[in-house]
Structure 1
């Protein structure tokens, strides 16, 4: 099965996850920044693993554009976000991104893990939102950003590799 990993990364989180995924796939699987020119033979891949950072509850803009243009048989999604990866926000972010994939394209599975938030973005949110807001400067926000700053960690990267392995195994079993 011919695979490729594409990713968009703002702080390096999604790139690290993408590299862990690529390392778990067959040797020689390309791992490319999707904000750079994509290979002309992109349609020839049986499965595209596409990673993004969550922005406003969905994939970042560059990833959204690529997702909408993929007509490969399978697109497995992975993402990083500053919030709890088990939260409704995380689940809904993956669902929104999966909804961008063209009709007829199979999304066999998704993976999401926490990642540090760009400090410039944190400061911008603190200026934009009042302290009473989820994104304002308050003890809860600061604790969430502190927790996120340690991710992706070794377990997240192991889980990402396991995700890639499981997707590939599942697709190979389907035939």
Structure 2
């Protein structure tokens, strides 16, 4: 089985997870930034890495996933929220449903926390208490925790999920 591991990254988080996924996958495989992909026909399985933006895959990853039809697809993502949060689970479900709508079979899913771009945090802080992402003590704590991820435990968990694929 020939596998393509691909990713879109803003801060480098998703690339790091992609590298862990790549290590775990057996058989013939390649790893590429989504920006470099010209063709997907020669692959039996495509594993797509994304970062969460506004409750969905980032635009670049989303556009790439829209091109996938009738493929075996796995997804892995990073986000600033906690991976066991309702927000994270809704993101994973939304992405899987979009892939399935194009006739794809989703073979694996993984999401973990990742450091948030400092520019985004600064923008949210400048909004003060007026925005939907106001810097509350709870949010500040989550942002601080996100800055520690992805970490070795996240990489190990991703390897566990994708290492089980045939």
- What is the TM-score of this pair, normalised by structure 2? 0.92
Instruction: Quote the residue 2:14 is aligned against.
Output: 14
1:135 Cα deviation (Å)?
Answer: 1.4
Q: Flag structure 1 segments of 5+ consecutive residues without an equivalent.
A: 170-175
1:100 is paired with a residue whose SS is helix
Do the aligned partners of residues 14 and 84 (structure 1) sit closer, same or farther apart at CA in structure 2, a change above 3 Å counting? same
Instruction: Quote the residue 2:62 is aligned against.
Output: 64
Instruction: Quote the residue 2:102 is aligned against.
Output: 103
Q: From 47, 52, 58, give the equivalent of 2:50.
A: 52
Q: In proportion to residue count, which structure has more strand?
A: 2
Moved more, 144-153 or 99-108: 99-108
Question: How far apart are the structure 2 equivalents of 1:37 and 1:6?
Answer: 9
Question: How far apart are the structure 2 equivalents of 1:127 and 1:52?
Answer: 27
The aligned runs of 1:90-129 (5 Å cut-off) are 90-101=88-99, 102-128=101-127
Q: Is the 8 A contact 2:2 2:28 kept in 1?
A: no
1:107 is paired with a residue whose SS is strand
Runs of 4+ in 1 over 6 A off after TM superposition: none
- What is the TM-score of this pair, normalised by structure 1? 0.88
Question: How far apart are the structure 1 equivalents of 2:127 and 2:59?
Answer: 21
Question: How far apart are the structure 2 equivalents of 1:55 and 1:135?
Answer: 13
